[in-house]
Structure 1
């Protein structure tokens, strides 16, 4: 049994995680600890507070006692808002506190794009445009070319959590460009685990979503590879897209 630990801010789309655990269909256990979200707002100042060390550290002991082999800060905006170096320091501090390999959803996206051999992506973000632009800057710092960015302008994670497949698909279509090799949906407050096959079929290319890449990143840290086609191209045995 491989136990994976996740620090998830508040309550929005946390039910994606047991769904993903089920879809993995293997000896994988997903342990989720909720962190204090503070003010629910996709604003830079609120996001910086949400990702502060003391808020992440508060849940680490519970994951360690559960036997987690790796821990991932399951929040994109609460990591990329610090910039590349700041986000790196954030996960280094988390690893030191936990005594475990650690990462965040922001780095998970960069690593997943690399895993699939991609270079150019479109970003379909629920965030306001200024926050979505910070995610694009983070991707570029990681060597990923961003062909287009679409921000939906939603302020709260609570509202994002109410979206269904139709809204997710509409946003992904709006962001996609012909030269993008994949479409990225970066918000962990967005329910996507059940929609990935539909998204990939509709767009005709890989789709990477926040909760999907977060679990994949934890598996990577734990040195596990799981074939789960229901979770999309990223969880197929071989990358389906080559540069």
Structure 2
């Protein structure tokens, strides 16, 4: 489900807690075309990359409250995104699908989540073999690998940093992010990967997307990047854009 093309779309962003939410106003600035990304912080009872906590973060009632809040605070939306990778893939493919369906019913506009945005971004670029650099503990990161597998995306290697809280992830500097991506790409097991995936919306990446691609010599897809891209795509504003990495630069005819 996508909307009729909108010149200046409004994409509602549901974001859990506080960590890298400032990536979204930065993305607005880089888009520079009037597209708007109003953001509502959804309830996070416990900041923990732990399965039980993530299931709570992505629960239907919390997302419904967030959808109502972002619509009420910023008027009509063209699409809405649950901007949390772990809080979507932790439900599994079927659970994440039901999560998006419920969100769409409440918001009454096209909806998606960051996990599905990664899948759609890979499909857009014709990518089916990747390496993953995750900030999460291993057990959570492995669920992302399983989710990608359901979409036919093969993960050649998984590197996890084992960080428990989103708040800590949000403190990682641009240089650390660049080094992390380079380390993932430099793993001999990642030699055949067509892209590097970095699946955490708590990670600041919007200001370094082009640098990430240049550093590793292949597309680097990040959580906040694919979330914005998916929202614009669903809102009918899918076109080539510069300054936001290979995914945005490719335009709608890639893949």
Same fold (TM over 0.5): yes
The answer on whether the counterparts of 1:70 and 1:221 sit within 8 Å (CA) in structure 2 is: yes
Counterpart in 2 of 1:182? 195
The answer on whether the counterparts of 1:72 and 1:214 sit within 8 Å (CA) in structure 2 is: yes
- Aligned to 1:38, the other structure's residue is in SS state coil
Q: 1:172 to 1:237 in 2, by over 3 A?
A: closer
Does residue 181 of structure 2 align to residue 172 of structure 1? Answer: yes
Does residue 47 of structure 2 align to residue 40 of structure 1? Answer: yes
Measure how far apart 1:229 and its partner are: 1.9
Counterpart in 2 of 1:28? 35
- Aligned to 1:117, the other structure's residue is in SS state coil
| TM-score, normalised via structure 2 length | 0.92
State the distance in 1 between where 2:231 and 2:132 align: 22
Q: Which residue of 61, 73, 80 corresponds with 1:71?
A: 80
Spell out, residue by residue over 1:68-125, the C-alpha distance to the aligned partner (whole angstroms, 9 max, x if none): 1111100000000000000000000101111111100000000000000111111000
The answer on whether the counterparts of 1:8 and 1:33 sit within 8 Å (CA) in structure 2 is: yes
Counterpart in 2 of 1:123? 132
Q: 1:96 to 1:87 in 2, by over 3 A?
A: same
Spell out, residue by residue over 1:159-203, the C-alpha distance to the aligned partner (whole angstroms, 9 max, x if none): 000001121122212222110100011000000001111111010
What are the ranges of 5 or more consecutive residues in structure 1 without an aligned counterpart?
Answer: none
State the distance in 2 between where 1:197 and 1:34 align: 27
State the distance in 2 between where 1:167 and 1:77 align: 21
Q: Which residue of 17, 25, 28 corresponds with 2:24?
A: 17
Measure how far apart 1:228 and its partner are: 2.3
Spell out, residue by residue over 1:120-174, the C-alpha distance to the aligned partner (whole angstroms, 9 max, x if none): 1110000001111100100010111111111000000000000011211222122
| TM-score, normalised via structure 1 length | 0.96
State the distance in 2 between where 1:172 and 1:114 align: 21
The answer on whether the counterparts of 1:44 and 1:131 sit within 8 Å (CA) in structure 2 is: yes
State the distance in 2 between where 1:175 and 1:230 align: 23
State the distance in 1 between where 2:17 and 2:26 align: 18
- Aligned to 1:183, the other structure's residue is in SS state strand
Measure how far apart 1:27 and its partner are: 2.5
Does residue 18 of structure 2 align to residue 5 of structure 1? Answer: no
Q: Which residue of 105, 108, 127 corresponds with 1:99?
A: 108
The answer on whether the counterparts of 2:136 and 2:164 sit within 8 Å (CA) in structure 1 is: yes
Q: Which residue of 142, 145, 148 corresponds with 2:154?
A: 145
State how 1:200-215 maps to structure 2 within 5 Å. 200-215=213-228
Measure how far apart 1:241 and its partner are: 8.1
Q: 1:181 to 1:57 in 2, by over 3 A?
A: same
- Aligned to 1:149, the other structure's residue is in SS state strand
Q: 1:239 to 1:164 in 2, by over 3 A?
A: farther
Count of residue pairs the alignment pairs up:
242
Q: 1:240 to 1:164 in 2, by over 3 A?
A: farther
